[in-house]
Amino acid sequence: MGASGLGSGLANCINLSNLTLYLSSNQIGDEGASGLGSGLANCINLSNLTLNLLQKQFICFGL
């Protein structure tokens, strides 16, 4: 599930206004990054988002 699963869960939190995610020292692939972004897009009341991506390794294919 990973980041994609997190995105699916966040998609249900439509009343969320503040969110801080500590995602340091993780590997997030294409599917996870896309799922996380899609889930956050559904958080229509989100006004403050903080992402901690310290030592993040994104694995991207098809660039």
* Domain boundary assignment for the chain: 2-59
Which pLDDT band holds residue 1 (cuts at 50, 70, 90)?
A: confident
Per-residue pLDDT, averaged over 29-45, amounts to 89
As beta bridge partners, residue 29 has: 59
Question: Of the candidates 31, 41, 32, which has an alpha carbon nearest to the alpha carbon of residue 11?
Answer: 41
Alpha-carbon distance values, 4 to 21, 23, 50, 56 (Å): 14, 13, 18, 16
Residue 63 has pLDDT above 90, yes or no: no
Residue 45 has pLDDT above 90, yes or no: yes
Which pLDDT band holds residue 49 (cuts at 50, 70, 90)?
A: very high
Instruction: Write the DSSP assignment of 6-27 as a string of letters.
Output: HHHHHHT-TT--EEEEE-TT-E
